[in-house]
Structure 1
Amino acid sequence: MKLGVALRTSQNLALTPQLQQSIRLLQLSTLEMQQEVEHMLDENPFLEVEEEAAESEAFGVVSADAPVSAGDRLAESAAEGELAGISDATGAEVAEFESGPSDWEGDGSLEMGHSDGEWGGDAPARGTGSGSDEDVQAADINAAHVSLTDFLHQQAGEFFLCREDRAALDFLIESLNEDGYLEDSLEDLVLPLARSLEEVDDLLHHFQLALNLLHTMEPAGVGARNLAECLQLQIRAIERSEDYDGDMALLALARQICAQPLEWIAKRDLRQLCQATQASADAVREALLLIARLEPKPGRRFADVERNVIVPDVIVRPARRAPGNREFIVRLNPDVMPKLRVHDVYANALRRSGGGPELQQRLQEARWFIKNIQQRFDTILRVSEAIVERQRDFFVRGEMAMRPLVLREIADELGLHESTISRVTTAKYMDTPHGTFELKYFFGSGLETESGTNTSSTAVRALIKQLIAAENPGKPLSDNKISELLKAQGIECARRTVAKYREAMRIAPANLRKSL
């Protein structure tokens, strides 16, 4: 073997830190991005939130073509660079970034600009203008939210209990899940608390007393160990109610039915239930109707609704109020866009003193972060505008008019990579005249029609939902019958496909939809 030294040149792809940050910011949801902004504000002293309009380096998305009211300043034009395709170190995607804006200071240099004034004003993302005078606000959430545990603790304070019973009741309340169920057995809760085996029985006594009290609290059914017990507790609460003037025998029958296998109730198996309860079919039907009105999740109404509120990233409204109007205005939601700027005092002090490389790097990081956020919103807006253009019929007539659309179509139209479109459409939401939807909602495969064209799977789902809503409750449509009805309208949709779409929409099968 002969050893030698050779010189060889090669090309490889690398993601710069600012490019990696762009990729990460693009795929974050609104909440995750807000958390990222808070983290950067804590970590980087050169970054601050712009409370009011300022001439210093700032970021904000304002209307490019909307009328400017008195007192409003004109935002400086955005950097012409637009976020190119993003993906995990593939040549096409990195090439998109390489062909990005020439003025993007993302080369890792520590050089500072001649003046921070070049970053002044609210830098608008492209085309965020609004022709409507309506300002869409984020959902107004009631801040005074009372949780289930707080509500139960308030009721527990009305009982006159000894210290041990009060501690056991508080412990059980804190052990409930968000639906109001007690998932652990009393033995499992007691054993870690007991210091000796002799103490177990005493603790079980206190916990059983506390559980009995918990079962009498509101909401009815709280503290149940399973669904059957939850339903029975609610029926007992109705029996104790002074306002109930109905048939007590019906309540007793309903409680007896709840003690039977729940599969019989779910399938409405009248034969099995009649045999088990020795009651007539009419009485069992009436009892099942009563059970259907009970709440299977007692803690549902105490859920923190703020966590479930979707704040849209994009707002779409008709350009003018007129029947059949097919023009729509797409704009970013100002409530989700952080307005950031470089801290003037710190930046000027660093320029005068020269500072060290570390401080210069932090200033450059602040500039990168501001520009990357701007590019993020600009890309979301571009993709949203392309979606609205392709799905214009949906915005006019609703989901029945949705057309087939794949990520590749939008990617080719905007000159971005397909994975970039996937990141943009994930966990980003659009507020439309027909409701708020994730951007991915507007993409779907197509099903063939007799005419040779394709119809969107979303439109087929909407049609299935419409057929089921109009069915006879006494004789609901089977999946096979729905498939035949779709075929009669020229849509080829197999029974298995109908079942898949129905399950995706959480619609029960025909035997469970049948009215008693």
Structure 2
Amino acid sequence: MSLSQSLQQKLLQKLSPQQIQLMKLLQVPTANLEERIKEELEENPALEMDEEGHADEFGDEMQDEFETSADEDMERDGSEEDYDNIDISEYVTDDDGEIADYKMKDDNYPEMDDQKVIPIRVETSFHELVLNQLGMLELDERNYKIAEQVVGSLDDDGYLRRELTSISDDLAFRQGLSVDEKEIEAIIQQIQQFDPPGVCARDLKECLLLQLKRKLTEGIAVELAIQVLSKYFDEFTKKHYEKIQRGLNLTDDQIRDVINQIIKLNPKPGGNIGEINKAESYIVPDFFIINNNGKLELTLNAKNAPDLRISEGYRDMLKEYDKGSKKDKRQKEAVLFIKQKIDSAKWFIDMIKQRQDTLIGTMSAIMKHQQEFFLTGDETTMRPMILKDIAELTGLDISTVSRVANSKFVQTEFGTYRLKFFFSESLSTDSGEEVSTREVKKILSDIIEAEDKRKPLSDEVLTDMLQEKGYNIARRTVAKYREQLNIPVARLRKEL
């Protein structure tokens, strides 16, 4: 194979660093934006928070995101000619005192007082709760180490899902203890007597049985429930109640009492104890929509419009350099560094402003398209809407709309919703009108909720009922929507 040279022309699309950073900022939800701004403040000393409400000296002089003056300065080789051509006039000129455009505070949603003391909840985690109960057992040092290993192997739901051989191996490698499975099983039997009931179970069946055995003094229904779970656990989970009744010779009242006993048990004994993920405990909305006498008003969360400005100290340093007569190479190197940091700060402020504009524009288009829902809160009034519809209304790319919709929330008088909630495909009716699949799912959910649970409706019956209402829908589509709504099949919805 011979070597050869050739000329080729290629058309490539490359994103500038500014565009990449803007895309990343769009994906950041309001709850994490403050942390991202703090990172930028730490990295760039020329950027600072305007806590006193001063105007930004460079607010009206933002550079276009495609200009590369800062990049060009960074690529210079430090020659004398470069230093001699430094122009800092735009950095030392006083501004006209106007407030920068990016400052969009809303008096209706004031920022939180930083001086306010927020109490911190003190709580005991699930594993700490179980470890504290080990002190009630009379264990020697060896058995205590085994018990600690077992407790440490519990998952957050309170189950012991590790094999005994794995626990034995961990004790051998980490503690230097040679322990057989019988010793571990004996310790497990003792830990299963701890609170909360059902802790240290290997599976759901054992967990429920452990809880029922604590309630043996409560009557015959508990004893029957233990028999049902011991002999007919699979049949019970699949609601084959007739088979259970025949096998144990139970009456309708008895099987009903058994079901009532079992459904009161906790399938996750460790799930409601201890610390929870703070990121999942609350949602910080990015937008607020208020119905003001039939007119919708959209506001952006104030945390999306931080008070950022260029450091006055950096500007003063450039002024001192401009006034001085002796300008050696070291001073000029410092000036180049200051210019780069100021350009970077100006660019970041501009990115925050563009983020605000994109968020407001996208949410305004969604609010306009789904206006009837925001006025009434009725899901059946939602119109079909896909990413392309909003992209055409806003003039943005579909990928940009997707980034906004995936991680943002809006607070309304009917609740807080993820923006993805408002996007849905269309479905045709008998009259040829296109309706949102969200509307069909809502009607389907209402029909199932109102059904007689002793005789739940099959997918075929649900399909007929929807077709009677004018929706052209197939049975497999009904089954798909039912699964998306986390609704089980008719047999599993049956109640006695």
Tell me which interval the TM-score lies in, with the shorter structure as reference length: 0.7 to 0.9
Q: Secondary structure at the match of 1:315?
A: strand
Identical columns (%): 30
Deviations 1:14-38 (Å, cap 9, x if unpaired)? 3221111111211233455444334
- The answer to whether structure 1 residue 173 and structure 2 residue 133 are counterparts is no
Size of the aligned set, in residue pairs, is: 459
Of 247, 250, 275, the residue aligned with 2:221 is 250
Describe the shift of the 1:357–1:404 C-alpha distance in structure 2 as closer, same or farther (beyond 3 A): same
Amino acid at match of 2:464: E
Aligned position for 2:29: 29
The whole-number CA distance in structure 1 between the counterparts of 2:426 and 2:105 is 32
Q: 2:215, 2:277 → 1: CA distance?
A: 28
| In structure 1, C-alpha distance between the alignment counterparts of 2:65 and 2:151, rounded to whole Å | 56
Counterparts in 2 of 1:356 and 1:514: CA distance versus 1, 3 Å = same
Mapped to 1, the partners of 2:298 and 2:109 lie a distance apart of: 13
| CA spacing shift, 1:119–1:285, aligned 2, 3 Å | farther
CA deviations over 1:243-268 (Å, ceiling 9, x no partner): x6x31x22122122222454311221
For the structure 1 residues 209 and 122, does the alpha-carbon distance in structure 2 shift closer, same or farther, using more than 3 Å as the test? farther
Higher helix share: 2
Change in 2 beyond 3 A, CA 1:102/1:342: closer
For 1:158 and 1:20, how far apart are their aligned partners in 2?
58
Residue number among 135, 157, 162 corresponding to 1:184 in the alignment: 162
Bigger radius of gyration: 2
SS of residue in 1 equivalent to 2:179: helix
Shift of 1:330: 0.9
Secondary structure of 1:437's counterpart equals strand
TM-fit CA distance, 1:329:
1.0
Matched, 1:480 2:460: yes
Runs of 4+ in 1 over 6 A off after TM superposition: 3-6, 8-11, 119-122, 134-138
1:440-479 equivalence runs, <5 A: 440-479=420-459
Residue aligning to 1:500: 480
Unmatched tracts of structure 1, length 5 or more: 59-75, 80-100
> Is the 8 Å Cα contact of residues 56 and 344 (structure 1) preserved in structure 2?
no
2:213 to 203, 219, 236: 236
What is aligned with 2:19?
19
Does the C-alpha gap of structure 1 residues 213 and 4 become closer, same or farther in structure 2, counting only changes over 3 Å?
closer
Cα displacement (A) at 1:103: 4.5
Which deviates more from structure 2 when the two are superposed, residues 434-443 or residues 37-46?
37-46
1:394 pairs, out of 370, 373, 376, with 373
CA deviations 1:46-75 (Å, max 9, x no partner) are 33344x3331549xxxxxxxxxxxxxxxxx
Cα distance between partner residues in 2 of 1:339 and 1:163 = 59
Matches of 2:396 and 2:41, distance apart in 1: 30
User: How far off is 1:377 after superposition?
Assistant: 2.3
Provide the rounded CA distance (Å) in 2 between the counterparts of 1:428 and 1:196: 45
217-226 or 39-48, larger mean C-alpha shift: 39-48
CA RMSD of superposed structures (Å): 3.6
Q: Aligned pair 1:150/2:118, yes or no?
A: no
Code of the residue aligned with 1:438 in structure 2: it is: R
AA paired with 1:27?
Q
Q: Find 1:297's aligned residue among 268, 274, 277.
A: 268
Q: Is the 8 A contact 2:102 2:305 kept in 1?
A: no
Distance 1:10 1:153, change over 3 A: closer
CA contact (8 A) 2:384 2:436 kept: yes
CA contact (8 A) 1:152 1:217 kept: yes
Aligned to 2:302: 334
TM-score, normalised to structure 2, is 0.81
- How far the C-alpha of 1:381 sits from its partner, in A, is 1.4
Kept after mapping to 1: 8 A contact 2:29/2:286: no
2:53 matched to which residue of 1?
A: 54
Residue in structure 2 matched with residue 94 of structure 1 by the alignment: none
Going from structure 1 to structure 2, the CA distance change for 1:46 and 1:136 (only over 3 Å counts) comes to closer
1:47 maps to amino acid: L
Match of 1:318 in 2: 291
1:388 aligned partner, one-letter code = M
Contact 1:106 1:368 in 2 (8 A): no
Q: Does the 8 A contact of 1:46 with 1:342 survive in 2? A: yes
Aligned partner of 1:433 in structure 2 is: 413
Q: Which residue does 2:41 correspond to in 1? A: 41
Secondary structure of the 1:330 match is strand
The residue that corresponds to 1:83 in the other structure is none
* CA offset digits 1:428-482 (Å, max 9, x no partner): 1111122111111111111111221111111111111111111111111212211
Match of 1:287 among 255, 258, 273: 258
1:159 shift after superposition: 4.6
TM-score (norm 1): 0.78
Q: Tell me the distance in 2 between the aligned counterparts of 1:444 and 1:40.
A: 37
Which of residues 351, 364, 382 is equivalent to 2:343?
Answer: 364
Consecutive unaligned residues of structure 2, counting only runs of 5 or more, are 71-86, 322-331
Superposed CA deviations along residues 204-247 of structure 1, whole A, max 9, x for unmatched, are: 62x434423332222221211111111111112333xxxx6x31
Secondary structure at the aligned position of 2:178 is classed as: helix
